[in-house]
Amino acid sequence: MSLTLTRSSLAALNQRFRGAPPLDVLGFVHETFGERAALLSSMQRAGCALAHMADRAGLPFDVLFVDTGLLHAHTLATRDALVAAHPRLRVVTLTPAQSVEAQTREHGVLYLSKAGQERCCELRKSAPLRATRGRYDALVGALRRSEGGRRGEVETFDLDPEQQALRVHPLAHTSDDELDAYIAAHDVVSNPLHALGFPTIGCFPCTTPVRPDEDARAGRWRHLAEVTYCGINPTDGGGGDPTITLDDRYRAALS
């Protein structure tokens, strides 16, 4: 038998965990899904905090990290520091099918236009993650309501129709101040770019520092004013009524 989930069917689960500490959510996910769950991290501060929470609690998640081939050296160094700091976690580096050079020979320099950016993010970010479809039934991300924009109403439990997996956001209701306090109190591994004026971090051709008077995401695709998200997070794509189908053994836990 199988279990079909919609956003509306997750209402009771989201209500049950509303206001719950992030570690409670992580514990529930690990207990329910075991090795069929993984953390997602782009080596930014919230993802690094989640990895710290999981390791500190002895929850041996896989951590999926997409190396697009266009990341800052600081981000790759942060991944290596996370590996060293959290030996209970297994950081899995995912890579695109083509090198940057091969992609450019075939498609040209994609990130110079909106359509090209969408194609580039698809090839270098979304496709490597999609290649893991079928391996995991729950993917744990670090989106938070305090980020604003399309993430302003993110729920703790959501759906990923591309992956046919549950998307979980333990930090959904965590404020900026609460996240900062956790990182400071526990000396969490941090991407050095945050201290250099990058509130959010992506590929180096499409990420710039942000002035204090700008929106936190102003530095992403600054050369393409209408672009603010890459598409790897289903929540960033807007509404709709997606469904996913999981093994029926999860029915009791997710009801």
Active site residues: 230
* Residues counted in the chain: 255
Do 97 and 66 touch, CB atoms closer than 8 A? Answer: no
- In the block, tokens 């992580």 appear at 26
Q: Residue 52 corresponds to which amino acid?
A: H
Q: Report d(CA 48, CA 183) in Å as an integer.
A: 9
Q: Residue 77 corresponds to which amino acid?
A: A
How big is the chain by its Cα radius of gyration, in Å? 18
Q: Report d(CA 131, CA 23) in Å as an integer.
A: 28
- Structure token pair of residue 170: 């333990």
